[in-house]
A and B are shown apart, each in its own frame.
Chain A
Amino acid sequence: MNIECADVVLEGRKILIVDDEPDLREVLSARFEMEGCEVSIAENGQAALALMKIDHFDVVISDIRMPGGNGLDLLKAIQTKRPTPAVILISGFSDIDESEILKNGASAILVKPFDLEDLVHAICRALGDNQFNHQELKC
């Protein structure tokens, strides 16, 4: 049975994974493809923004520190896009200013090596919030 949490169905969702580590991109893709998501990958922030010009994504999962455009710059650039995808940041560094990052619009931050199911649930929560926000905007 595929994952459904708080009325959010992952199947068919478009997810963009941004990380400079090829093996991590591959394993995260595999996990969300298991849920029937449509997954795209990028190796840094610049490549991700280039993809976002031609496609819309429901969720962007991005590493924070990468060569060639880091996750924080990407997060700021994404906030100007409408509709705004949910952004989950991941990092191998634990010395990150979580409150500052959340203030800049990230839905969640996970420190590597995170539990994949925590990531799945963070996405469900973020998508739930985003749906709610969009409904609010319509009113």
Chain B
Amino acid sequence: MKLMNTALATSLAVLFSLLIAMTYFKLRTGLRERRRAIQLLTEKIKMAALEEMGAGVAHEINNPLAIIRAKAQILRLSVERGMLDPKLAQETGLKIEQTVERIAKITNGLLAFARDGSRDPMERVQIDQLVDSTLELCRSRFINHGVELKISRPRVAIDLCCRPVEISQALLNLLNNAFDAAQQSRSNAAWVELVVEDLPSHVRVAVTDSGPGIPIENRAKIMQPFFSTKELGKGTGLGLSVSKGIVEEHGGVLEFRPDHEHTCFEMSFPK
């Protein structure tokens, strides 16, 4: 009898271990598949965002290029006309250097954004820098379409442990959605507000727009893949679902705030 009990207990223990191992394996495979799916969708969204931003980025680069070219031509003309002032030449040189740095910032941001960051190691970055590099990619689009961009962030530096390229991608998705919505504002003033807050347990990044809002019947579906309220061919319907996946991979939450007066999406990251 005692022998039977021991054998039964051993069998149960083996079965239990097997079950745990299978569940663990299934979970790991599931997580890996989920991660791969997010990675593929991220690439798709990234390409769509780059396409949308293309004209704006070209403008952001063509403007400083025009300044550099004009400065260089004035310098050459001043020499040809024998009216070169050394002080002016020095100032012009300095301005050209600063303008080149401005272009380099944009191209570096673009390169960082375009590459696959899903395998990057988690690193501690200042959220301020992350916000700045993301805004660099879309600011001109807002300016050129008369959408005011309001930014509120704490004066103290906030660190976030993350894959910066992915968080930048999620933030850009929210900003691009907000831009599209703001353009449909019923009032004359179209705006998008970005708020970064340092709270005791988490960091809050909220994007709010002046758009017409999300109809109640659509609210439950907005985070679903391929759901889009944008006109055909304009949205991929993947932006929010991919952003949600990215934020959750970082242990955070991305949610729509139905209690907010305007359309507000909020990302929260644990500290």
Give the B-binding residues of A (Cβ under 8 A): 1, 20-21, 23-24, 27-28, 30-31, 34, 65-68, 90, 92-95, 111-117
Contact = CB atoms under 8 A, between A and B. Distances in A.
Contacts of A112: 62-63, 65-66
Contacts of A28: 70
Q: Which of B66, B70, B81 has most chain A Cβ within 10 Å?
A: B66
A84 to B, nearest CB: 26
Interface stretch (B71-79, B122-130, B252-260): B71-79
A113 B66 contact: yes
Given A23-B67, A113-B66, A114-B66, A92 B59 contact: yes
Contact of A24 (B63, B73, B74, B143): B63
A116 B62 contact: no
A31 B144 contact: no
A115 B69 contact: yes
B30 interface: no
Interface of B: 55, 58-71, 73-74, 77-78, 81, 95, 99, 143-144, 146
A20 B69 CA distance: 18
Contact of A23 (B62, B77, B81, B99): B99
A88 to B, nearest CB: 14
Contacts of A93: 55, 58-59, 62
Nearest to A114: B66
B70 A92 contact: no
Nearest to A119: B70
A66 B143 CA distance: 7
B68 A94 contact: no
Contacts of B63: 21, 24, 92, 112
Contacts of A94: 58
Contact of A30 (B65, B66, B74, B144): B74
Contact of A116 (B70, B81, B143): B70
Contacts of B144: 65-67
A113 B71 contact: no
A17 to B, nearest CB: 12
B65 A27 contact: no
B67 A21 contact: yes
7 contacts: A31-B77, A67-B143, A90-B66, A92-B59, A92-B66, A115-B69, A117-B73
Nearest to B54: A95
Contact of A92 (B62, B69, B146): B62
- Top 9 A-B residue pairs of the complex, sorted by shortest distance between their CB atoms: A92-B59, A92-B62, A113-B65, A112-B66, A113-B66, A112-B62, A27-B70, A65-B144, A113-B69
A112 B62 CA distance: 5
Contact of A65 (B59, B68, B69, B99): B59
B65 to A, nearest CB: 4
B101 to A, nearest CB: 13
B62 A31 contact: no
